[in-house]
Amino acid sequence: MRRPISPAQSENPLQGHRGLEAQKGDRTSHFCVLDEGGMVVERGKVQTTREGYSRYLVGCKGLLSTKTDGVKKGFERLFREYGLPRAIRSDNGVPFASTGLGRLSRLSVWWIKLGIRPELTQPAHPEQNGSHERMHRTLKRATTRPAGRDLRGQQRRFDAFRLEFNTERPHESIGMKRPADLYRPSPCAFPSVVPRMEYPGHFEVRRVSRNGGIRWKKGWLNVSHPLIDEYVGLEEVDDGIWNLHFGPLLLGRFDERDEKLYAAFYAHRPWHRGGRAGRAAEGSTQEDFRDLHSATTTR
């Protein structure tokens, strides 16, 4: 069974679940996912999931709601059939991301526990998922003009498009081959039990309570509601300064003296660096920490 990566196993821990630059696909299983409204009758949405290297469309499902529980069930079905990808690239919308610490959502927390790396495109940069966006435009032209009479009828159109897209239509971007010619399922099977996060022995481990925080000495540190009932790890990197991790993901930096949590972001996002914890990142090309005034400790 594939285990989630611990902070000690990752040479370059993920920094705050941030937006990523566009990357070329490779032979590793890498899913791209997108929700789009206005393509399903009854004010629903279509969610598509595609493997990045082969362009194979593994999922094309009409939804009446993008609530986490329903979307999660859809991904469970895909993971059982096609295995676990190494990463999933998505936009910043619900249910893939949130505005909270690390931009984590309940769905992305589940992905991380499965050993999947969430990748978020930068806001207002659809070109970072450009190939998938173009596929959506083709899907819309082929299946919604006219649209099906109801969700079941629309799903039949989606299923027919997916079959043609994968097995009949050659694609210029993959050398005029068909996605089914290149696609290989992931060798990483979906586990029967999702493992708990593990941390190195020198980490302080805390369980996030029902109100989204952790107990720290005599105070309280607000963390993130999507992490409720999950275990986070804290690593002291300087006197009274701690890095906050969720598995391989660096969420932020906590300063015991000013009792504030600073969120970690990409260096190319020019957030203000405040306090001792923020100044500790000065000159770094890997880390950037933003003062979270709403995430201070309370006594």
Question: What is the C-alpha to C-alpha distance for residues 299 and 256, in angstroms, rounded to an integer?
Answer: 12
The pLDDT of 273-285, averaged and rounded, is 42
Q: Looking at residue 59, what is its pLDDT?
A: 92
Q: Looking at residue 218, what is its pLDDT?
A: 82
Q: Looking at residue 36, what is its pLDDT?
A: 56
Q: Looking at residue 123, what is its pLDDT?
A: 77
Q: Is the pLDDT of residue 111 over 90?
A: yes
The pLDDT of 267-294, averaged and rounded, is 41
165 three-state secondary structure: helix
Task: Write the DSSP symbol of residue 177.
Answer: B
Domains of the chain (ranges; CATH) run: 7-182 (3.30.420.10), 204-298 (no CATH)
Residue 236 backbone phi and psi in degrees, to 5: -75, 120
Q: Is the pLDDT of residue 175 over 70?
A: yes
Contact 71, 107 (CB under 8 A): yes
The pLDDT of 52-67, averaged and rounded, is 88
Q: Looking at residue 129, what is its pLDDT?
A: 80
Q: Looking at residue 161, what is its pLDDT?
A: 95
Q: Which residues pair with 233 in a beta bridge?
A: 205, 245
For 257-270, the DSSP string reads TTTEEEEEE-TTS-
Lowest-confidence pick of 44-58, 146-160, 194-208, 269-283:
269-283
pTM: 0.79
What is the b/e burial string over 262-278, where b = at least 16 CB atoms within 10 angstroms of the residue's CB? bbbbbeeeebebbbbbb
Q: What is the pLDDT of residues 125-159, one digit of tens each?
A: 777 787 888 888 899 899 988 888 888 999 999 99
* Residue with more model confidence, 297 or 185: 185
Lowest-confidence pick of 76-85, 185-194, 283-292:
283-292
Q: What percent of the chain has pLDDT over 90?
A: 44
The pLDDT of 208-227, averaged and rounded, is 92
Question: What is the C-alpha to C-alpha distance for residues 27 and 97, in angstroms, rounded to an integer?
Answer: 26
Mean pLDDT of the chain: 79
Strands (DSSP E) contained in 111-203 are 117-121
Q: What is the pLDDT of residues 221-238, one digit of tens each?
A: 999 999 999 999 999 999
The pLDDT of 44-60, averaged and rounded, is 88
